[in-house]
Amino acid sequence: MFKKALTFSSLFALGIVLTISSLNAHSALSMSKEDCSIGIDSSEQTIKTQTDSIKSLYLKTNIDKYVTYDVFKNAVQGFNKINSKQKPILTLIDFSKPSSEERLFVIDLSKQEIILSSYVSHGKNSGGNYAENFSNRNGSYQSSLGFYKTAGTYIGANGYSLLLDGLEKGFNDNARKRAIVMHGADYANPNTIKSMGRLGRSLGCPALPRSVSKKVIDIIKNGSVMYIHANNQEYLTHSKLLNS
């Protein structure tokens, strides 16, 4: 169905390969003034190669049917900068979409495919059908944007739950203090959309329908990357993972 997939090791090694290629290109361009005057700048070539790779992945995963290219590009670029990840799995939550639509996507980047998709609730003080307000503050009952690394699981008040470590200072690094975890919830059942026009809301956690929560948690637990996106200019402008 798809062309031969990039391996997880290829994704990790991309930066190294591109760096070596850039150095070789730079050496070749420096051989003569004539060569320099007509050659392509190595940094521009590196950016073009990275962009082409992400565009190819965007199409091969078929996620173009669900999220925009810019959202996917941010997710993959941030994923590639996180060295501590242990799985080729990227969970993308797109809060620019309403809660009445599926907006969580679990992607296997090594196989270049969407493993599953789901509805997901946002914090009750983030908004109604759309999440519009975000906070890293304890007691805000708002969702937090940015990149997370998944940790272990436990059985808590909401049943089987997944611990999350926020990786972005000022945006989500209080996740543990706030008890922001992934868990199942009755209010995240899409049947609530028929009566309320939206999902029910959490205290800030990305809550899933109980029918899929355990499956999702078991796939992404223990060292995968999660990215929670919204069209929030403060985050998009100041996130170090997106802008470094």
Cα–Cα dist 224/152, whole Å: 11
Share of the chain above pLDDT 70, in %: 81
Each residue's pLDDT tens digit, 92-149: 999 999 999 999 999 999 999 999 999 999 999 999 999 999 999 999 999 999 999 9
pLDDT of 243 strictly over 50: yes
Each residue's pLDDT tens digit, 22-47: 434 444 333 333 332 333 355 566 66
* Domain 85-243 classification at class level: mainly beta
Cα–Cα dist 73/243, whole Å: 12
Residues composing the chain: 244
170 neighbors 146 (Cβ within 8 angstroms): no
The answer to pTM > 0.85 is no
Q: How many CB atoms lie within 10 A of CB 152?
A: 10
Q: Domain coordinates of the chain in residue numbers?
A: 1-60, 85-243
Whole-number Cα distances in Å, 81 to 39, 151, 243: 29, 18, 11
Cα–Cα dist 145/207, whole Å: 15
Cα–Cα dist 17/54, whole Å: 15
Cα–Cα dist 123/170, whole Å: 18
Q: Which residue from 43, 57, 48, 45 is spatially nearest to 11, judged by alpha carbons?
A: 57
Q: Which residue from 64, 243, 14, 241 is spatially nearest to 149, judged by alpha carbons?
A: 241
